[in-house]
């Protein structure tokens, strides 16, 4: 159908007061609604004759306790005002493909009994899915959420797709319900301020392949308070705790799939979040754990970097070898010759050899307090060797 035919149809069906095409621009039209009662009729008329035209709707929409028993197609629509579907039931499939929502959207208490698709849609404000039920496919492929997003008491009973979705702010799944048939996929999703699934009750099949997560986010107040409004609470202990649990859950998903590479990556993130949690937890009984985490991080980055393990061994050896020589300084006779340099480095490598204890640096056999330095240094050097080996075999761990 050409553009002139569409305009003729609008006039012939007496829709000229409800549907306008301005300035002969036929790639979009405007709806002029008095109330919500004729929305389905007008949308249905337009889509019957043109599936791709963009529809601009500049009216706040409110649907309460409404039963939708026909297919709903609100694709290619731009909504400039708030939309509310409260306690509504959608008995047939619903499409919001390539829709743009400028203001808040609410689906509180609503049920989608058939497939619903939000492909490539943009939500500029928070979307409320409180007590919303998706019984079949809920497809958020390539959707962009530009505000804080929470799925609170949202039921995912079928296949839910968040593939290639972008969450530009905090996102939280909390107290959700799933079924034995539930599959939730976050393939290639982007979480720019991390995510919280610590209490999501996702006892179902999950897919996190190739996700991109900012695992130490700059916004964490939602994770701290569970409130959608920004909090002034500066104690972020709970936030780091839920992030740690989130990374543990994702780690376990990868281990179950046999994907040790990604699992190790999320183990590192889990431990990093725990380290941040301990920084804001001032209880004295956590000192031992803080110390353990500190040395695990600097020695091999929680089992992920053998290069850091080698660097740790080298730095520790330099430190303790220097201390060792400091205690012997009055007894050392050293000349800056080729032989002197060779002797210096030979004893340095002897210090590295934790199996050899009868070393005689520069001919000295009795080094009193320096032996304590040697003993402590060997403990740290041995620890560095162990951490390096652990990092080398990281992909064999499970």
Residue 80, pLDDT above cutoff 90: yes
Q: Please give the average per-residue pLDDT across 36-54, as a whole number.
A: 74
DSSP annotation of 252: H
pLDDT over 90 for what percent of the chain? 54
Question: Quick one: which of 259, 164, 169 has its CA closest to 214?
Answer: 169
User: What letter would DSSP give residue 124?
Assistant: S
- The confidence band for 249, taking pLDDT boundaries of 50, 70 and 90, is very high
Per-residue buried b or exposed e for 80-102, using 16+ beta carbons within 10 Å of the residue's own CB: eebbbbbebbbeebbbbbbbbbb
- Tell me how far apart the alpha carbons of residues 158 and 160 are, in angstroms, rounded to a whole number: 6
List the structure tokens of 289: 């754990």
**Where does residue 53 rank: exposed (0-12), middle (13-18), buried (19+ CB within 10 A)?**
middle
Using one digit for the tens of pLDDT, what is the confidence trace for 111-163?
A: 999 999 999 999 999 999 999 999 999 999 999 999 999 999 999 999 999 99
Do β-strands 111-112 and 190-191 pair in parallel, antiparallel, or remain unpaired?
Answer: unpaired
Residue pair 332/364 in contact (Cβ under 8 Å)? The answer is yes
Tokens of 27: 């790639």
Q: Please report, for residues 30, 58, 78, the alpha-carbon distance to residue 20 in angstroms, rounded to integers and kept in the order given.
A: 5, 13, 15
Largest CA distance in the chain: 110
Q: Is the pLDDT assigned to residue 102 strictly greater than 80?
A: yes
Q: pLDDT digit string (tens) for 288-304? A: 788 888 888 889 888 88
First CA to last CA across the chain, in angstroms?
61
Output the CA–CA distances (angstroms, integers) from residue 270 to 49, 61, 73, 237, in the order listed. Answer: 53, 43, 42, 14
Domain boundaries, the chain: 1-59, 306-396
- pLDDT for the residue numbered 226: 82
Confidence of residue 1 (pLDDT cuts 50, 70, 90): very low
Beta-bridge mates of residue 396: none
Does the pLDDT value for residue 103 go beyond 80? yes
Residue 208 sits at the vertex; the CA angle it makes with 259 and 213, to the nearest 5 degrees, is: 110
The CA distance from 312 to 298, in Å, is: 7
Q: How high is the pLDDT of residue 116?
A: 98
- In sequence order, what DSSP letters do the residues of 40-86 get, joined into one string? HHHHHHHHHH-SS-EEEE-S-EEEES-EE-S-EE-TTEEE-S-EEEE
Average the pLDDT over 320-347 and give the result: 69
Note the pTM of the prediction, 2 decimals.
0.82
Which pair of structure tokens corresponds to residue 197?
């699934």
8 A C-beta contact, residue 86 and residue 63: yes
Name every residue whose Cβ is closer than 8 Å to that of residue 214 and which is 6 or more positions away in sequence.
191, 192, 193, 194
Of residues 318 and 358, more confidently modeled: 318
């Amino acid at each position: 159908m050409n553009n002139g035919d569409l305009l003729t149809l609008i006039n012939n069906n007496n829709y000229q007061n409800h549907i306008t095409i301005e300035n002969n621009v036929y790639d979009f039209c405007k709806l002029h609604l008095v109330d919500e009662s004729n929305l389905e009729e007008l949308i249905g008329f337009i889509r019957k004759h043109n599936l791709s035209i963009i529809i601009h709707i500049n009216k706040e929409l409110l649907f309460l306790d409404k039963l939708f028993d026909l297919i709903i197609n609100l694709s290619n629509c731009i909504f400039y005002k708030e939309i509310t579907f409260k306690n509504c039931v959608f008995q047939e499939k619903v499409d919001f493909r390539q829709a743009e929502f400028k203001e808040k959207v609410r689906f509180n208490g609503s049920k989608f009994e058939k497939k619903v698709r939000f492909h490539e849609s943009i939500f500029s404000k928070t979307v409320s899915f409180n007590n919303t039920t998706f019984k079949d496919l809920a497809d958020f492929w390539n959707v962009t959420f530009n505000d804080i997003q929470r799925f609170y008491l949202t039921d995912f009973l079928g296949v839910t797709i968040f593939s290639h979705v972008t969450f530009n702010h905090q996102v939280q799944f909390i107290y959700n319900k799933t079924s034995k048939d539930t599959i939730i996929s976050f393939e290639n999703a982007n979480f720019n301020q991390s995510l919280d699934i610590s209490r999501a009750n996702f006892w179902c099949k999950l897919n996190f392949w190739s996700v991109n997560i900012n695992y130490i986010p700059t916004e964490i107040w939602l994770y701290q308070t569970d409130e959608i409004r920004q909090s002034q609470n500066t104690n972020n202990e709970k936030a780091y705790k839920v992030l740690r649990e989130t990374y543990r859950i994702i780690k376990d998903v990868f281990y179950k799939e046999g994907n040790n590479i990604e699992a190790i990556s999320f183990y590192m993130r889990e431990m990093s979040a725990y380290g941040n949690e301990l920084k804001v937890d001032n209880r004295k009984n956590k000192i031992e754990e803080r110390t353990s985490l500190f040395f695990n991080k600097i020695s091999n980055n929680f089992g992920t970097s053998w290069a850091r393990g080698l660097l740790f061994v080298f730095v520790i050896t330099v430190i303790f070898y220097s201390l060792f020589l400091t205690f012997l300084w009055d007894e050392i006779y050293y000349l800056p010759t080729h032989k002197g340099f060779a002797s210096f480095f030979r004893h340095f490598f002897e210090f590295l050899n934790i199996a050899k204890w009868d070393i005689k640096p520069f001919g000295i056999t009795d080094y009193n307090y320096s032996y304590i330095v040697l003993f402590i240094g060997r403990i740290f050097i041995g620890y560095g060797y162990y951490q390096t080996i652990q990092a080398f075999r990281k992909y064999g761990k499970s």
